[in-house]
Structure 1
Amino acid sequence: MVTVAELRPGYLTGYLDGNTLPNSLELVAPPPAEGSASAALDLDIATRMQALKGTPRWQLAISDANLHFPAAAGIFSCALNAPISEAQTPRLYQLLRRTLTDAGLSTYKAKNHYQRSRPFMVNQQGSCSPDEEAALAKNGSYPSGHTAIGWAWALVLAEIAPEQADALLARGLAFGESRNVCNVHWHSDVVTGRTLGAATVARLHANPQFQADLAAAKAEVAALHAANTKAGKDFNTGSASPTDCAAEAAALAIRP
């Protein structure tokens, strides 16, 4: 496995450089204008999401906000029906860390250009990440970097394990919605974040190292699934993490 340097503490250098990252200013329209129907939808969804405070869905959104590894590695484990860890799936683990950087950076040209205020700054209702609000207030809301990362992960994982694609894509959609639940992103931020996540994955497929890591990660997951099938085990219902997966499913079923 290739040794990859850190871009900054805790975050690996991505596969793409500044010349190959998607240009978010060219790919997404400006954020909704004040008084528009799209802006009204943003406000409506932000208001309805307030009803989820204190519920298991709110707690899951808090968990989804954490992009630090190793904690973030488990976000898609239930949907993948397999553990994701540095010990059991090292190539997948590194691939997720590197694509996090690529998808996150893909949003910054638009973020820095528009500097859109986040929902908690407008509605004064706080967020699920109170310790990060000062930093978030200086970081443009549009598009959502978290959503770009989560959707890129969902698309890559669906390619790695196509038999789990529906579950993985559904979890990717919910991951973006967690940013609405958290009151840190508007609905339109999340929608455009998915666009940039998809654009990043499209660019990644032209990168030879990504292609090699993708193939290696696919082999890792296939081996885990085969071993579990042979042993009659299932990650979601067996001894690995049944309570967490059941709790995740229950939380995701809660709607405002």
Structure 2
Amino acid sequence: MTEKALPESVYKLFARTGHDVRGPAGVVAGALDELERALGGEATARNAAFFTMARRGVRRLLRLADRYTAASELAREVDAPVQAMDLEALVRQAVSEASFVYGRRQVTVALDLAPLRGFAHAPSMTAALADALMLALRAARSRVAVELAAHGDQARVVLTSDADTATVEELFHAALSPESDPLDEGALPVRVIDGVLKAHAGTARAERTGAETRITLEWPLKEADHKAAGR
């Protein structure tokens, strides 16, 4: 069961903000699609870079809405409604989304994903994975490695940045401390990552290892372990 750490009014604010951001961003996304179809052919090719830029901005807004929605749902204090799924596909989707929105030209993302089935609540876990990759990309010099594998009876995702930086580790510590400002936008991604993993009876941590920075997410592969942890 998720530990409720913030006042109910804060969770309601998160829910309202997510809704208020998602509505207009969705309208803009639809308008971009219609505009691209109206221009068509050569005009679309000439303006492809502008459409990509605009779509990336819209997706960034929608990612922010997803983050606020995920944060608001942590107030329910119930087990995440997990379903059996292809975890490899889930990770690929989160990586694709985060790479499009937060990617950096000088940073490559390398995948090492084992075929793996398990249980997860897809919307919230996708949000947590995307935010974890966002933090890893920000810390990286030139490369982020994303690994998925079974570790005993746990699914384990490790995001490794090729940079020995204290930034991510310190952000996790500061965001999860009792003194943290619940409305601090910088702390919100870590709160979402930590809260979603706890709702899945799992854990999230950031640490420096040698010349690298790692973010590790782990949660049970079996549905029974999710339920047992919630009791």
TM-score (norm 2): 0.23
Higher RCO (C-alpha 8 Å, min separation 6): 1
- TM normalised by structure 1 equals 0.22
Bigger proportion of residues as helix = 1
Kindly indicate which of the two structures has a greater share of residues assigned to strand: 2
